[in-house]
Chains A and B, each alone.
Chain A
Amino acid sequence: MRDAIKAARRDTPAVALVTTKFSPQGDFVSRSAGMPDIPRVILPHPVAGTGEKAMKMVADDIADEVLQALGAAG
């Protein structure tokens, strides 16, 4: 979330990737950073440590959504 906020502050289109369990934390961080509306895409939880194959499946599932969010951000 912070990475996306940093990029957005440099006028770089950005979308935050947040897992379901971290969604409230993402909301908290975006509010405290003063960018509550930063675009975000919600991923299944967990992602970390699930391996390359699972990561590719997640990426396939969200690719369109990420592009859409980036388009909106741009």
Chain B
Amino acid sequence: MSQRLTAASEEAALEQLHADGCTDGLPVVIPTPERVERMVLASGLDGDVSLGQLGPNLGEATVEKAAIAAVMAGCLPDYFPVVVAAVRAVSDPRMDMTEVQATTHNLGPLLVVNGPAVGACGIASGFGALGPGHRANASIGRAVRLAMINIGGGRPGTSDMALLGHPGKFTFCLGEDEEASPWPPLHTSLGFGIDQSTVTVACTEGPHSVLCFPDDDPEVYADHLLNVLAASLSGLGANNTHFARGTQVLVLNPDHATALADVGYDRATIAEVLCQRAKRTWSELSTVRARGSGIDRHQRSQGEDPELVVHALSSPEALLILVAGGTGLYSTVMPSWGAGPHGNSHLTVEIDLDQTCEIPLVMPAS
């Protein structure tokens, strides 16, 4: 059972939560027992069920505490199964959330939702899906951040040591546009069925835009697109390029996805090609980093051969490819950190949409 606080009014409660460092700096919905209870009911789970431990505080992420975060973030109870799955993911030891919160690098968990939950919750996947104006995206991602603050204890400068942070650390959630995609949904390539709902979590930097104009020749267009994506996935300032590991995310807009599909590419072959092309030679790397810094395993094992090639993706599986956003010239890449005991990999958790209990109506006081 969570600690109960008392306040003279909702306004006073809000100020108290701000003063205690329990918010993300924006106003929150006050998590009254009634609101939290309604949220818990939407999970079909008991409030004291643990979803894992969330670092660096190693706080017990119970369903009730996740519900408090969801209420504060402004979630509808219908969204709560997505929040539960996402909190389960970020509490999984494989996500290294203690290290992710503590690093000086600027990264945060990106939530990609697939399956029926996208439509059921109204999660945006088209124009501006990662921008403002979409309640489900905004509040689900925010709930996870509030859980990371209040359960995980991540607070800037004392336990969240990101040198600058990025705006996605307020909220960072979108759906895959499965209808606009020329390929089966992302989660089906990760071992889930098309009727299952999932949230895939990858801790990344913010979105980096990638420009590619169409070409009259479809083969040339696809080749140019793959070249510019590969260059963007192996930036000389990106950790992945130097550490040669970590999941990166590629969000293809539907036009770019279609252009690749039209000449025969699918998700797997795109990942293979980009894994090959997203690379730098040691001579390129040596122009931007100190000799003898020994920060990548290639250098440690093979010395400083100028012709040595370092791949920014350790394998095709280290690239998550989804289709989202409006149609047009821009796709997006999210590089990542590439460190931590588990190498900053991604994780997919099923969303249990079928366990929701009937939510009692809240009647206004007469």
Which residues from chain A sit less than 8 Å from chain B, CB to CB? 2, 21-22, 24-25, 28-29, 32-33, 49, 51-52
- Decide yes or no whether B9 CB sits under 8 A from chain A: no
Q: Which among B57, B102, B158, B290 is the interface contact of A51 at CB below 8 angstroms?
A: B290
Inter-chain CA distance A52–B292, complex, in Å, is 8
- Decide yes or no whether B58 CB sits under 8 A from chain A: yes
Fill in one digit per residue for B55-96: 1 if any A CB lies within 8 Å of its CB, else 0. Answer: 011110000000000000000000000000000000000000
Query: In the complex, which residues of chain B have a beta carbon less than 8 angstroms from the beta carbon of A51?
Result: 290, 292-293
Chain B interface residue number, banded: 10 to 19
Q: Which among B59, B159, B290 is the interface contact of A28 at CB below 8 angstroms?
A: B159
Scan residues 259-307 of chain B and give those whose CB is less than 8 A from a CB of chain A: 290, 292-293, 295
> A49-B290, A51-B293 are known contacts; what are 10 more A-B pairs with Cβ within 8 Å?
A21-B161, A25-B102, A25-B158, A28-B56, A29-B56, A29-B159, A32-B56, A32-B59, A51-B290, A51-B292
The smallest C-beta distance from B163 to any residue of chain A, in angstroms, reads 10
- Decide yes or no whether B98 CB sits under 8 A from chain A: yes
Which residues from chain B sit less than 8 Å from chain A, CB to CB? 56-59, 98, 102, 153, 157-159, 161, 290, 292-293, 295
The smallest C-beta distance from A61 to any residue of chain B, in angstroms, reads 21
Inter-chain CA distance A24–B153, complex, in Å, is 13
Q: Compute the total of residue contacts between A and B using a CB distance below 8 Å.
A: 31
Inter-chain CA distance A12–B159, complex, in Å, is 26
Contact B159 A25 (CB under 8 A): yes
Inter-chain CA distance A52–B291, complex, in Å, is 10
- Closest B-chain residue to A27, C-beta based? B158
Contact B153 A28 (CB under 8 A): yes
Contact A28 B293 (CB under 8 A): no
Residue pairs across A and B with Cβ atoms less than 8 A apart, 10 shown, are A2-B98, A25-B102, A28-B56, A28-B153, A29-B56, A29-B102, A29-B159, A33-B58, A51-B290, A51-B292
- Closest A-chain residue to B99, C-beta based? A2
Query: In the complex, which residues of chain A have a beta carbon less than 8 angstroms from the beta carbon of B58?
Result: 32-33
The smallest C-beta distance from A21 to any residue of chain B, in angstroms, reads 8
Query: In the complex, which residues of chain B have a beta carbon less than 8 angstroms from the beta carbon of A22?
Result: 161
The smallest C-beta distance from A51 to any residue of chain B, in angstroms, reads 6
Question: Looking at A24, A29, A49, which has the most chain B CB atoms within 10 Å of its CB?
Answer: A29
- Closest A-chain residue to B101, C-beta based? A25
The smallest C-beta distance from B102 to any residue of chain A, in angstroms, reads 6
Query: In the complex, which residues of chain A have a beta carbon less than 8 angstroms from the beta carbon of B56?
Result: 25, 28-29, 32
Contact B290 A24 (CB under 8 A): no
- Closest A-chain residue to B290, C-beta based? A51
- Closest B-chain residue to A23, C-beta based? B158
Query: In the complex, which residues of chain A have a beta carbon less than 8 angstroms from the beta carbon of B57?
Result: 28, 32
Contact B161 A25 (CB under 8 A): yes
Query: In the complex, which residues of chain A have a beta carbon less than 8 angstroms from the beta carbon of B295?
Result: 49
Inter-chain CA distance A52–B293, complex, in Å, is 8
Contact B158 A28 (CB under 8 A): yes
Query: In the complex, which residues of chain B have a beta carbon less than 8 angstroms from the beta carbon of A32?
Result: 56-59, 153
Query: In the complex, which residues of chain B have a beta carbon less than 8 angstroms from the beta carbon of A33?
Result: 58
Query: In the complex, which residues of chain A have a beta carbon less than 8 angstroms from the beta carbon of B161?
Result: 21-22, 25
The smallest C-beta distance from B95 to any residue of chain A, in angstroms, reads 16
Known: A29-B56, A32-B57. A24 touches B292 (CB 8 A): no
Inter-chain CA distance A49–B57, complex, in Å, is 27
